[in-house]
Amino acid sequence: MPLLEVKNLRTVFDTDVGRVHAVDGVSFSIEKGRTLGMVGESGCGKSVTAASIMRLVPNPPGRIIGGEILWKGRNILDIPSKEMPELRGKEISMIFQDPMTSLNPVFTVRKQMEEVVSRRKGLKGKAADQTIIDMLQTVGIADPSRRVDNYPHELSGGMKQRVMIAMALLAEPDLLIADEPTTALDVTVQAQILHLMKDLQKRLGTAILLITHNMGVVAETCDDVVVMYAGRAIESAPIDELFAANRHPYTRGLLQSIPIPGSNKRDALATIEGVVPSLITPPKGCRFADRCFARQARCTTDDPTLTTIGTGHQVACHFPLEVAR
Amino acid sequence: MSAPLLEVQDLYKSYPVRGGLFSAKQGEVKAVAGVSLTLKKGETLGLVGESGCGKSTLGRTLMRLEAANSGRVLFEGADVLTADKHQLFALRRKIQMIFQDPYSSLNPRLTVGSIVREPLEVHKIGSREEQNARVRELFVAVGLKPEMIDRYPHEFSGGQRQRVGIARALALNPSLIVADEPVSALDVSVQAQVLNLLVELQKKLGLTYLFISHDLGVVEYLSDRIAIMYLGQIVEEGDRETLFREPKHPYTRALLDAMPIADPRRRRDRAPLQGEAPSPLNPPSGCTFHPRCPYATAACKTTIPVLEPVAGSTPDHRAACLRKNEI
């Protein structure tokens, strides 16, 4: 049984201009100790998927209208709201692109971390203090015994991110959901943060759901990948297979549009023409059809479903591409 | 060899830090601390560094959007920093800028057509009809439909807005474009479209680019030469191949090492560079990189390294590191 299994998840937002189908039938699963990368461009539904798993979709305007989120076999959507903080604090932790989403500006780092230590480990006073300072040290904060008494605004962006990660790690969760955790950071700090997350995984067997738009980060940290487009999962595969033997035209276009080391301006980059469709009135048929170079008549009428085409490899396309040699 | 289009000599720009009673000056941040660089006509120089290294300030200072403290900026031999009002007005036709954020750099109350026409009006170029014709021509050049001229910025996607920004920058036929992170707010597939457009325009119009970015992948793709900045100074520069193949400054190496590569077969198990860049308010002594540098010696704490040619490398490969010829 996978640790987390998301089946046909549907999350909508009711807005003045209509109902936005932000996540419209997404399925994937994560095993213990593995890292699943979730990639896609702005508005594809990555973050809403994460928020849905945590039951953090603001209602109104948002609502989960269908599907199941099985956590160790139990449907998260059936858990009473008052039990959710317990699940969020102990079993699933989340880190965000903007650390101020999870840090409270009016409390010191110590105060905020004490709460996690006491709830998760039952530690108080000196013992709690030591645990906090050790963890700040682990995440690479220089001079932790002084920094612990700082307020969030006194820390740099990288330091705030580290504090948030330290809090997530103190909880020793079974699943860490990281939503663009390094997007706002410099590359050298990004490398440090990713290193930390992988280190935690090695020590505790934590599963990681890493949401990012950066294919480089995916290639370097993930075991499996699910590619999202317009509210759907359109391809998922083990990392090597996804890069070397992808079959969905969108996945291929996305990978080919990134300048890879050694490329230069004498070779034009591949592009995907057009724009993503409206999620208020999604097109009939395949959502990628109007931008797809391999489109055929059927693509504009029939909606493709995610189908298994190899070991751990699924694709939602009527005419999957040949594997490039 | 032709004279350089742009020559920056020993440029300094610092900002006072104020606080306390009557906002007394308490110190200064040296955002640009003695930068020299040259750009030849038709080439692209990539300027790379992490947040706060001074790369954007450098771009703004050499366009005189910020007043420099000292140094010279020669554009086709004329000093931008000492130019009077009229000379500056003329220079501004030839140097244009593209900004990072396609959402905040366009006036939401103007149609995109008026935004692109504005530079022509300011510089009183052509009749109204000629200006309209030029705007349509620019729209076509950047891949926008001329029938979109009367729409407002909010009706456009991020990639389209960036095209509007590029059309505006091209309106006066500039020879130098300073592009400050022009693609970093865009999704990758859109980013590729804008990069292709920049390359195409350069080939067609013979433009020279100063391309400022934190993304080494994008910079490598676009640049002929690359300069790496750390704490207000250029620590290494060279042609693209040399810099990526044989980086000499330990900071350049750390940056290349930290850059994630979109190819799982090239996954590396590396020890990341420790710490963060120190505050430019109080930079370390000697080589400003020494507290984070795995190669630092006692001398690095006291001696300030100079940007000098690297022995046995290509002629324009220079690094500011005491140990550049041994590591």
B234 φ, ψ (degrees, to nearest 5)? -85, 120
Q: Mean pLDDT throughout B215-235?
A: 93
CA B263 – CA B272 distance, rounded (Å): 19
Position B219 confidence tier, pLDDT thresholds 50, 70, 90: very high
- Band of residue A155 on the pLDDT scale cut at 50, 70, 90: confident
Residue pair A116/A93 in contact (Cβ under 8 Å)? The answer is: no
Q: Which phi and psi (to 5°) does residue A136 adopt?
A: -65, -40
Task: Read off the pLDDT of each residue in A108-130 and give the average, rounded to a whole number.
Answer: 88
Whole-model pTM: value is 0.86
Confidence at residue B196, expressed as pLDDT on a 0 to 100 scale: 92
Q: What is the arithmetic mean of pLDDT over B187-206?
A: 90
Q: Is the pLDDT of residue B26 over 80?
A: no
pLDDT at A86 over 70: yes
Residues 42-101 of B with CB under 8 A from A: 44, 50-51
| Residue A85 predicted with pLDDT over 90 | no
According to the model, what pLDDT value does residue B2 have? 65
pLDDT at B272 over 80: no
Higher pLDDT, A184 or B113: B113
What is the pLDDT of chain A when averaged over all its residues?
90
B322/B50: higher pLDDT: B322
Contacts 24+ apart (CB under 8 A), A307-312: A309/A247, A310/A237, A310/A241, A310/A245, A311/A238, A312/A224, A312/A236, A312/A237, A312/A238, A312/A241
- Give the range among A126-140, A288-302, B233-247, B312-326 with minimum mean pLDDT: A126-140
pLDDT band at residue B51 using 50, 70 and 90 as cut-offs: confident
Mean pLDDT across A273-294: 90
Q: Lowest-confidence range among A23-37, A170-184, A214-228, A252-266?
A: A252-266
Look at residue B142 in the predicted model and tell me its pLDDT: 92
Do B196 and A243 lie within an 8 Å CB cutoff?
A: no
A168/B108 Cα distance (integer angstroms): 41
Provide mean pLDDT across the span B109-116: 95
- Average pLDDT, integer, range B152-161: 88
Does A324 have pLDDT greater than 80? no
Q: B188 and A254: CB-CB below 8 Å?
A: yes
The answer to whether A26 and A228 have CB atoms below 8 angstroms apart is: yes
Mean pLDDT of A93-113: 87
CB contact under 8 A, B261 and A261: yes
CA dist., res. A141 & res. A159, Å (int): 7
Give the least confident one: A321-325, B205-209, B313-317, B322-326: A321-325
Q: B76 CA to chain A: closest CA distance, Å?
A: 26
Our CA-based measurement puts residue A35 at a distance from the nearest CA of chain B, in whole angstroms, of 14
User: Which chain A residues touch B51 with a CB distance below 8 Å?
Assistant: 157, 186
C-beta atoms of A268 and B196 within 8 A: yes
* Chain B nearest CA to A221, separation (Å): 8
Q: Inspect the interface and report whether the beta carbons of B260 and A140 lie closer than 8 Å.
A: no
Give residue B266's pLDDT.
Answer: 81
- Checking if the pLDDT of B90 tops 70, the result is yes
Token representation of residue B6 = 């742009």
Stretch B32-55: mean pLDDT: 92
Least CB–CB distance from A253: residue in B189, B217, B266? B189
Q: Is the pLDDT score of A325 beyond 70?
A: no
DSSP 8-state secondary structure symbol assigned to residue B309: E
How many Cβ atoms from other residues are within 10 Å of residue A164's Cβ? 25
* ipTM beyond cut 0.90: no
pLDDT of A20 higher than 70: yes
Closest CB to A188: pick one of B193, B263, B272: B272
Residue B277 burial by Cβ neighbours in a 10 Å radius (0-12, 13-18, 19+)? buried
Share of chain B above pLDDT 70, in %: 99
The token pair at B18 is 């104020």
Residues B237 and B319: their CA atoms lie apart, in Å, by: 6
Judge: A269–B276 Cβ closer than 8 Å, yes or no: no
Q: Which parts of chain A are beta strand (E)?
A: 4-15, 18-30, 35-39, 62-71, 74-75, 92-95, 175-179, 207-212, 224-229, 232-238, 307-310, 313-315
Neighbouring-strand partners of residue B98: B179
Q: Spell out the domains of chain A, with CATH numbers in brackets.
A: 4-261+269-315 (3.40.50.300)
User: How close is the nearest chain B Cα to the Cα of A85, in Å?
Assistant: 34
